[in-house]
Chains A and B, each alone.
Chain A
Amino acid sequence: KAGVTQTPRYLIKTRGQQVTLSCSPISGHRSVSWYQQTPGQGLQFLFEYFSETQRNKGNFPGRFSGRQFSNSRSEMNVSTLELGDSALYLCASSLANPGVGGELFFGEGSRLTVL
């Protein structure tokens, strides 16, 4: 059974550009969540999607957005990139509905570098 797949794995952007990251969850998982990992802040929750609807959102500015498609695949977008957005962006999928407390399975991440 394939795990969580994230693309691209690495990318370099310049300040002011935008970026879109993609995540394909484990087959049958309908809940997808996104996390940002930086050396200073550690892992921080961005948002969670279930059945194409954003169910929960972390404390990030509106430049960070996402969506989920009918096949449960998800994308996140960051507009007007800042140097501080350089991070490893991790996607996780779960079989459980949001708020139930299911086990999360993570992808390998997309490492974004903003110059």
Chain B
Amino acid sequence: KQEVTQIPAALSVPEGENLVLNCSFTDSAIYNLQWFRQDPGKGLTSLLLIQSSQREQTSGRLNASLDKSSGRSTLYIAASQPGDSATYLCARGGGADGLTFGKGTHLIIQP
């Protein structure tokens, strides 16, 4: 059974800091790795998609990397802002089982 683990489960940092969220998965035969954010009571917003053939993707202040050999992905957020406060979820795409999600990292950016 594929598993996805996210560390830390919760994180609180002052505004302006750079931070890293971690995601690990047990099966390296992945199709892709997708990062989402979820605001309370809302659906998921896609942030970045890394295909299995890629090493990283960037969008604005966000950068996500993928290392299939070690089964790890990281989401780097530069110059954090209060509006970045949300739960961040990583999901492994493996084909027949849909996306396998981690439990998420609950992020609070203190003004």
Contacts and interface: CB of A to CB of B under 8 A. Distances in A.
B46 A103 contact: yes
Please classify how large the interface on chain B is, using the bins under 10, 10 to 19, 20 to 34, 35 or more: 20 to 34
Given A104-B34, A107-B43, A58 B93 contact: no
A58 B97 contact: yes
Interface string A1-44: 00010100000000000000000000000000101000000111
B89 A43 contact: yes
Interface residues of A, number: 26
Interface of B: 31-32, 34, 36, 41-46, 49, 51-52, 89, 91, 93, 95-104
29 contacts: A4-B43, A33-B99, A35-B99, A42-B101, A42-B102, A42-B104, A43-B89, A43-B91, A43-B101, A44-B101, A45-B100, A48-B98, A58-B97, A58-B98, A90-B43, A92-B44, A99-B31, A99-B95, A99-B96, A101-B31, A101-B51, A103-B46, A103-B49, A104-B46, A106-B43, A106-B44, A106-B46, A108-B43, A111-B41
